Amino acid sequence: MLRIRIDPREFALQAKRSGLRNLDAVAKKAGVSTATVSRVLNNLNVVKSSTRARVLNAAEELRYHPNLHARSLARGKNRTLGIIVSNMENPFFFDIYHSLEFAAHERGYEVVVANTDYRSEQFVSSVRLMIGWRVAGLAAIVSEMDSQLMQVLTDSKIPIVFYDVGTPKRNITNVRVDYTKGMKQIVEYLHSLGHTRMAFLGHHSTLGPISERRKTFMETVRRFSPNVRAQIVAGSDGLEGGRLAARELLSSGFDPTAIICVNDFMAVGVLRQLRDQGLRVPEDVSVTGFDDIRLAEFCSPALTTVHIPRKQIGRTIFEKLVRQNPGDRLTGQEILIDPELVVRESTGTARKTGSVEVIREQSETRFPDNSVS
């Protein structure tokens, strides 16, 4: 196998020379200096709008795009941050990414994102790729973890922030939500409404943050036993996963008065399944979520949930990745986020009589099939 070794300094030098030639062409076409072209392309607000427009038009006509990677190598500093998430389809992860990106843009940084779909092997691959790109900092908003990866991350010496997983080290900060507190608030609130048959609906039960919520649910329910019964069911993380898990639960014979979902995304799928089966929320079954994504406020009925401050988390992550003073030493720490119960329309007093099966039959009687044979 032929192996070619590229010296990054030589690559940056060659790219710089090529870039200068292209920069000269843009400057000549726009009738300005190369310094003015550089200021415009670096988005510095010291150039008149008419001149800026002329430079951008010239660059567009010449199809000139600066080599940002080469520029970073030449300067010896990258202004790109990496973020790895478990499920970008879930708005919870996107909200944190968006907050981090907004803060990054304010300081002239860009953000690249990778999605793992909860697969630890993909997480490892994405981490190694980000380190290979020499990102200035790396955020991991994931539930999965590979034990052997921690040493790799520590050795990388770049600022790293984990959400929920990981251990604080010299260059690693861990932002953690007090899921125990949040889950206790939900179970205790539902118990105060008279609910005695509660189901926990989750996903990926072996992952730490998910396991913590499930474990706290069971421990809190046991405090109220023998008066409270509990059931656990799992699906995939998503709208369809929540819908199918609710279908499985309702056909199991458990007959819940309340369904506690591991997150809001799955809870919306649960609401759809309950509606499809003729069950009213909260009159027949109460439903809760976790995270307080925007969809929780706008779905029908509006979802009782636990608020996690995603904008705050995204900005905190940025502040830990990009130090105000580059000379400051890296110091890892753990930051604990307090959740807050948000009561909306999807929870109410537990029904006193009738199982969900009887209620479903009554609903079918009230609203017969209108199809014509």
Intervals of CATH 1.10.260.40 along the chain: 9-74
**Residue 216: per-residue pLDDT:** 93
- Fold exhibited by the domain 179-307+341-365: Rossmann fold (3.40.50)
**Residue 12: per-residue pLDDT:** 46
User: Helix crossing, 8-30 with 68-75: angle to 10°?
Assistant: 120
Rounded-to-integer distance, Cα 246 and Cα 259, Å: 9
**Residue 17: per-residue pLDDT:** 43
> What's domain 78-177+310-337's superfamily in CATH?
Response regulator (3.40.50.2300)
Rounded-to-integer distance, Cα 285 and Cα 349, Å: 9
Of 95, 96, 87, which Cα lies nearest the Cα of 116?
Answer: 87
Intervals of CATH 3.40.50.2300 along the chain: 78-177+310-337, 179-307+341-365
The per-residue DSSP string of 16-73 comes to: HHHHHHHHHHHHHHHTS-HHHHHHHHTT-TTS-HHHHHHHHHHHHHTT----HHHHHH
Are the beta carbons of 33 and 41 closer than 8 angstroms? no
**Residue 270: per-residue pLDDT:** 98
Report the CATH number of the 9-74 domain. 1.10.260.40
pLDDT tens track, the chain, 373 positions: 444 444 445 434 444 444 445 778 888 889 999 888 878 876 666 788 889 889 888 887 887 776 655 555 555 568 899 999 999 999 999 999 999 999 999 998 999 999 999 888 888 889 988 888 889 999 999 887 777 777 788 788 889 999 987 778 888 899 999 999 999 999 999 999 999 999 999 998 777 678 888 999 999 999 987 889 999 999 999 999 999 999 999 999 999 999 999 999 999 999 999 999 999 999 999 999 999 999 999 999 999 999 999 999 999 999 999 976 666 666 778 999 999 999 999 999 998 865 555 455 544 444 444 333 3
- 235, β-bridge pairs: 203
pTM: 0.76
Are the beta carbons of 230 and 218 closer than 8 angstroms? yes
**Residue 316: per-residue pLDDT:** 94
